[in-house]
Amino acid sequence: MKNLALMILIGSAVVLSWCGSSQPKNSLDTGDWDSWVLQQPDSADNQWFKSDGLATDTSKTSIDLELVLDWWPWKDGIPSIDTPSFVQIDDESNDYLSDESEGIFVEMAGEKRRYSYNILNRHEIVNDVFGEGDAQRHLSVTFCPLCGSAIVFDRLVDGNILEFGVSGKLLNSNLLMYDRSTESLWSQALGKAVVGEYLDTKLDIVDADVITREEVKEYHPEAVILSTDTWAQRSYERIPYGTYDTNDDLFFPVENLEDARLPLKTRMFITNISDEISLAYHMENLRTAWEWEIDVDGVIYTASFEEWDRKITDPEGNELPGYFEMRFSRANKNERSKYVWDE
């Protein structure tokens, strides 16, 4: 705990230094963070959660609540987008995006949509609906900038359509979402509830890719793009996390940094093949290798990249849903992480 306390103190100093300084173009846009303080609970009682507006049942937990940290001082301080609107790729409102800018791409029910990181950095969750009538799919497009984790979830859980928001809290530097029905806390990286009524319930992952604006224009000109018309007063042109993606610094403490096969923030393309096993591929190297195989107890899984499309298939050729995450976050899940293509 002494090491954890030291890391928390360091993290607090970093954040407070942001709040007290002028902001160059690429610095963190702190907004109303002048009173922001990194916090953790003194005990497992739920008063700490209630004070932040969360009615989470903390008597049901699979984690040590002392590992939960405040990233924002109240729920919905980072507002999810719950009624998203979209524009065409060539709409002039997209001119603030460079061709190299990335976003999450989802194709479903005959529809193609891209969610720019410029917007997701400021909102982290988009609750969206694809299709019509009985074919409707209710999805949450989620992005945690601290982990580079881009994951799309099906919001249908036990026959109920959930809506997710940003709790303002972190677990191992990762977004803790909350559902607006029970206010259970869900680890975005784990894809399951870790505190509250839905404890240990898992969300189904929906296949998605991360592609640039240029790739959308070339390969999916009919796709629509998440609009900046979000009602929120946010500067989507600004880079809110500075050089965080390109250095080895972590803002907040994490439990497990022992896996040193790749730099901490190497972006991985991942699929889960069971509750215990996931496969992780070096995202950028796959682009140049085109295809790579991983042997899991004699079963061969293949990852490939063609034009814009990354995919992982099983021996029968079935495509498995993929998502993206920085190496430190993926290793932190205590999975059988030997299944990593790290060349």
- The model's pLDDT over 321-343, given as tens digits with 9 standing for 90+, comes to 999 999 888 877 655 455 665 55
Same domain, 71 and 163: yes
Q: How confident is the model at residue 22 (pLDDT cuts 50, 70, 90)?
A: very low
**Residue 20, pLDDT above cutoff 60:** no
Same domain, 103 and 207: yes
pLDDT in tens, 163-221: 999 999 999 999 999 999 999 999 999 999 999 999 999 999 999 999 999 999 999 99
| Residues 6+ positions from 320 with CB-CB distance below 8 Å | 207, 271, 272, 273, 301, 311, 312, 313, 314
Q: Which residues pair with 114 in a beta bridge?
A: 105, 225
What is the per-residue pLDDT for 340? 64
333, two tokens:
């899940």
**Residue 130, pLDDT above cutoff 60:** yes
What is the per-residue pLDDT for 6? 36
Cβ–Cβ < 8 Å for 205, 323: yes
Same domain, 94 and 44: yes
Tell me how far apart the alpha carbons of residues 163 and 181 are, in angstroms, rounded to a whole number.
8
Position with higher pLDDT, 9 vs 269: 269
Same domain, 118 and 157: yes
* CA angle (196, 199, 205) in 5-degree steps: 120
Position with higher pLDDT, 45 vs 228: 228
pLDDT in tens, 35-90: 334 555 555 556 667 767 899 999 999 998 888 988 766 899 999 999 999 999 99
Q: Which of 62-66, 193-197, 233-237, 252-256 is the most confident on average? A: 193-197
Cβ–Cβ < 8 Å for 113, 106: yes
Same domain, 212 and 178: yes
pLDDT in tens, 283-302: 888 877 678 888 888 899 99
CB-based burial of residue 105 (10 Å sphere; 0-12 exposed, 13-18 middle, 19+ buried)?
Answer: buried
* CA angle (217, 221, 224) in 5-degree steps: 100
Same domain, 298 and 182: no
Mean pLDDT of the chain: 83
Q: Which of 183-187, 234-238, 239-243, 337-341 is the most confident on average? A: 183-187
**Number of C-alpha atoms within 13 angstroms, CB side, residue 328?**
21
The reply to whether 130 falls in a domain is yes
176, two tokens:
């803790």
pTM recorded for the entire structure: 0.85
The reply to whether 307 falls in a domain is yes
The reply to whether 248 falls in a domain is no
Same domain, 9 and 78: yes
**Residue 12, pLDDT above cutoff 50:** no
**Residue 267, pLDDT above cutoff 70:** yes
What is the per-residue pLDDT for 286? 80
Position with higher pLDDT, 32 vs 122: 122
The three-state DSSP-derived secondary structure of the chain is: CHHHHHHHHHHHHHHHHHHCCCCCCCCCCCCCHHHCCCCCCCCCCCHHHHCCCCCCCCCCECCCHHHEEECCCCCCCCCCECCCCEEECCCHHHCCCCCCCEEEEEEECCEEEEEEHHHHHHHCEEEEEECCHHHCEEEEEEEECCCCEEEEEECEECCEECCEEEEEEEECCEEEEEECCCCCEEECCCCEEEECCCCCCECCEECCEEEEHHHHHHHCCCCEEECCCCCCCCCCCCCCCCCHHHCCCCCCCCCCCCCCCCCCCCEEEEEECCCCCEEEEEHHHHHHHCEEEEEECCEEEEEEEECCEEEEECCCCCEECCEEEEHHHHHCCCCCCCCEECC
* Total of domains in the chain: 2
**Residue 13, pLDDT above cutoff 90:** no
- Lowest mean pLDDT segment, chosen from 6-15, 128-137, 168-177: 6-15
Same domain, 216 and 326: no
Same domain, 11 and 154: yes
What is the per-residue pLDDT for 203? 98
**Residue 18, pLDDT above cutoff 50:** no
The domain boundary, picked from 186, 207, 242, lies at 242
Domain that includes residue 323, residue range? 256-341
Tell me how far apart the alpha carbons of residues 139 and 152 are, in angstroms, rounded to a whole number.
7
**Residue 25, pLDDT above cutoff 80:** no
Same domain, 92 and 237: yes
Q: How confident is the model at residue 34 (pLDDT cuts 50, 70, 90)?
A: very low
Same domain, 267 and 324: yes
Tell me how far apart the alpha carbons of residues 97 and 118 are, in angstroms, rounded to a whole number.
8
The domain boundary, picked from 213, 242, 271, lies at 242
| Residue type present at position 64 | D
The reply to whether 209 falls in a domain is yes
The domain boundary, picked from 199, 217, 242, lies at 242
Cβ–Cβ < 8 Å for 222, 178: no
